[in-house]
Amino acid sequence: MNLKSSNVFLKLFFTINWLVATVFCYNPSSRVFQSSVLIGSKIYYFGGFNGSDEKNDAFYFDVNTSEYTVIDNIPVDIYQSSSVIHPKDENICLLIGGFAYKPGSSSTLDSNLMSPEQVYRFDTQTSKWSIVETSNKPSVSSRRYLNGGVSDDNGTIYFFAHPDSSLHSDPSADSFIKLDINMMSCKDCSMKDLLFYDINSSKWSSATAQGESIDGRVAHTAVLTSDERLIIYGGFSYSYLEYPNITLAVLKIRSSSYEWSIPSSDNKSHPPLAGHSATIYKEKKELMYIAFGRSSGTDKDSNETIFALNTVDFSRIDLVPLPNKPNLKLKLGISLGLTAGLIIIGGIVGYYFWRKRKNRQTNDKIITNDDNINDNKVSAM
């Protein structure tokens, strides 16, 4: 291959590579009740629900580059699950509980897929999913979804288990799960009535918060800042039909006294949102990244927005994510395949025209020779 043909090949490859990237780049679709987890500077998002379909896609958002990148799909369609970092390996993410369905069969719920005895394990180094079977099956009903997962340094992960609302209407059916399951009853209560669980002593305690009155809510998010403030955002009222009057509230938990406050920037700057994800990330400043969720009365109005919230002055930072990155191996394979295919097709077409031209030259030569022979015969006569 000479230098000229090499340059043509490289130009063709990079052109196709750009076209493939353009075709494959897309932003994640709208959704609610997805799960998320922060690993390094990447916020991983798993599954979700868009009002008619459950999702099994997975991707991450890099807070440093504002880029989305697609990763391998989850083995099941899933939403309202809990995603936590493996207590012993920060490169491993565990996806546990939730409403899970066999891909493409949302009409029939497979109760086995909802059971905490089955854990979906994602390795961020290899970008591969695997299924881990736990050694014991929890004693609670399998028709529950787990959320609020948090792990300690000893390898223990804690969850709150909520029942399927189609089977249970009593909020006291909620339970607290720690490995072999400890049942703890609870009920709807005032946001000033605080309940704590100490993972070191395995004991519950309660306290009463002072300050502003905060509407009760569900499907909201909460993050803990480095200066020990609990920031809650959004949510539905208990009926799931309305939004709380106050979207953003802060609970100070630094000392033994607790106090609710409402930032002055609330309401206009922070419209209602529920079923979203919130992740806190600190580099130069501590930001709360809020993504997706439902901003109006139906799941169909779920939004695709991701924005950051400054945890100091609560100013909103609108983000414009770059398009989704396709899987690098897939992108490279398609680019090479298309390049090779075009080269082969080009070679066949080139060979066809070369043969056609060659045959024409041969025919012209034969005709010329025949004319010369005839001319010689005429001269001889």
Got the DSSP string for 127-192? TEEEEEE-SS--SS-SSEEEEEEEE-TTS-EEEEEEE-TTT---GGG-EEEETT-B--------TT
As a whole number of angstroms, the distance between CA 245 and CA 236 comes to 10
55/103 Cα distance (integer angstroms) = 8
| Residues 30 and 167 reside in one and the same domain | yes
Residue 54: pLDDT band by 50, 70, 90 thresholds? confident
Determine, yes or no, domain membership for 8: no
The pLDDT score that the predictor gives to residue 291 is 94
DSSP three-state, residue 361: helix
| CA 22, chain centre distance (Å) | 21
75 and 34 within one domain: yes
Residue 261 has pLDDT above 90, yes or no: yes
Of how many residues is the chain composed? 381
Q: Do 76 and 59 meet the contact criterion of CB atoms below 8 Å apart?
A: no
Look at residue 88 and tell me if it is in a domain.
yes
Quote the CA–CA distance of 267 and 343 in Å, as a whole number.
Answer: 59
Instruction: Out of 160, 187, 214, pick the residue that ends a domain.
Output: 187
pLDDT grade for 162, boundaries at 50, 70 and 90: low
d(C-alpha 106, C-alpha 54), whole Å: 7
Query: Is 108 within a domain?
Result: yes
Token output for 291: 């993504």
- Split at pLDDT 50, 70, 90, the class of 324 is low
Same domain as 147, residue 243: no
* Helix (H/G/I), strand (E/B), else coil: 250: strand
Q: Is residue 16 part of a domain?
A: no
Q: What confidence score (pLDDT) does residue 289 get?
A: 95
pLDDT over 70 for what percent of the chain? Answer: 56
Residues 60 and 162 in one domain: yes
Alpha helices in 226-327 (DSSP H): none
User: Same domain, yes or no, for 285 and 255?
Assistant: yes
Name the residue type at position 7: N
- Predicted confidence band at 71 (pLDDT cuts at 50, 70, 90)? very high
State the DSSP code for 326: P
Instruction: Give which of 259, 319, 264 is closest to 288, Cα–Cα.
Output: 319
> 137, 169, 187: which is the final residue of a domain?
187
Buried b (16+ CB within 10 A) or exposed e, 192-213: bebeebeeeeeeeeeeebebee
Provide the whole-model pTM. 0.70
Predicted pLDDT at 364: 55
Full strand arrangement of the beta sheet holding 67-71 = 35-39, 42-49, 54-62, 67-71, 322-325
Q: How far apart are CA 360 and CA 296, in angstroms?
A: 72
What is the β-pairing status of strands 42-49 and 54-62? antiparallel
| Better-scored residue on pLDDT, 145 or 311 | 311
Q: How many domains does the chain have?
A: 2
Pair (199, 78) in one structural domain: no
Residue 259 one-letter amino acid: E
pLDDT tens column, 77-136: 888 888 888 878 889 998 887 887 877 665 444 444 455 667 889 999 998 999 887 766
Whether 182 and 205 map to the same domain: the answer is no
Domain, as residue range, for 44: 26-187
pLDDT, average across residues 46-51: 88
User: Residue 206 belongs to what H/E stretch?
Assistant: strand 203-208
Three-state secondary-structure class, residue 219 = coil
162 and 222 co-located in one domain = no
Q: Is residue 381 part of a domain?
A: no
pLDDT the model gives residue 264: 78
Q: How far, in Å, CA of 255 to CA of 180, rounded?
A: 32
pLDDT in tens, 325-352: 555 555 555 556 666 666 677 677 676 6
| CA atoms of 177 and 160, how far apart (whole Å) | 6
Average pLDDT over the chain, rounded to an integer? 73
Tell me, what's the pLDDT at 287? 94
- If asked whether residues 87 and 155 sit together in one domain, one would say yes
Q: Are residues 172 and 134 in the same domain?
A: yes
Residue 272: pLDDT above 90?
no
Distances (CA, A) of 338 to 70, 342, 343: 21, 6, 8
Measured at the CA of 288, the angle between CA 256 and CA 249, to 5 degrees, comes to 50
Residue 143's CATH number: 2.120.10.80
Same domain, 173 and 31: yes
Q: Which of 169, 187, 205 lies at the terminal end of a domain, its last residue?
A: 187
Q: Hey, what are 52's tokens?
A: 């008619």
- Does any domain span residue 234? yes
- 266 and 225 in one domain? yes
- 20 in a structural domain: no
Residue 366 near residue 358, CB atoms below 8 Å: no
In a domain, 338, yes or no: no
Confidence of residue 278 (pLDDT cuts 50, 70, 90): very high
End-to-end CA distance of the chain: 55
